[in-house]
Amino acid sequence: MSARALVLALLAAALLAVSAAPAAAATPQVEQNEIEAEVMCPVCGTLLELAESPQAQRQKVFVARLIAAGRSKDEIKDALVAEYGEEVLALPSGDGFNLSAYLVPIVAFVLAAVALALGVRRWRRDGGDGGPAGPAPTGPSEADSKRLDADLSRYDL
């Protein structure tokens, strides 16, 4: 291959790379159903993937356009929030007051676990044996004890 041919080949490769760059930028980074499963249809009050209302159809087209433009999932969610507000997110963001949506279940679980542990500890300390609840067992009365002793002595065991 001559030097001229080599230069031409390199130029052609460079041109191909440049022309392919916008196509690569527009390559979908996320699936439509992935977004639809994580955002709400604000009018219907359901996940977008379950909604078929006219508003939901427009929202799906909006998402499809952004996917086709090569936007990332976060960028698409940000665009939806800019249009419809925070309520469009099926999962609340993890900051500010929304953080409570994640913290409250964890705190509730920890409190329940502590309460359960304390309950078990107390039950074991009180001598629980898993039997049916009822009056605490007591020894035989004095009269019964005397009668038992008398019976046993009668048999001279």
Partner 1 sequence: MAAGSNLRRPVSTRAAIAVLAVVAVVGLLTFGLLSKGSSGVAVGEVAPVASLPHLEGGGSESLADYRGRWVLVNFWASWCTPCKDEAPALERFQQRHGSEEFTVLGIDSNDLSGDGIEFVRDYGLSYPQLRDGDGEYAEEDFGTTGVPENYLVDPRGRVRLAVRGPVDEEYLREAVAPLLPGGRS
Contacts with partner 1 by CB under 8 A lie at: 42-43, 53-55, 57-59, 62, 82-88, 135-136
Cα 136 to its chain centre, rounded Å, is: 46
Backbone angles phi, psi at 73, to 5 degrees: -60, -45
The minimum distance between CB 27 and partner 1, in angstroms, equals 23
Q: How many residues does the chain have?
A: 157
The minimum distance between CB 26 and partner 1, in angstroms, equals 19
Mark 81-93 as b/e (b = at least 16 C-beta within 10 Å): eeebeeebbeeee
Cα 138 to its chain centre, rounded Å, is: 52
The minimum distance between CB 135 and partner 1, in angstroms, equals 7
Q: Which C-beta is closer to partner 1: that of 17 or that of 43?
A: 43
Q: Which C-beta is closer to partner 1: that of 83 or that of 151?
A: 83
d(CA 155, CA 11): 120
Q: Which C-beta is closer to partner 1: that of 16 or that of 111?
A: 111
d(CA 77, CA 91): 11
The minimum distance between CB 124 and partner 1, in angstroms, equals 15
Q: Which C-beta is closer to partner 1: that of 21 or that of 43?
A: 43
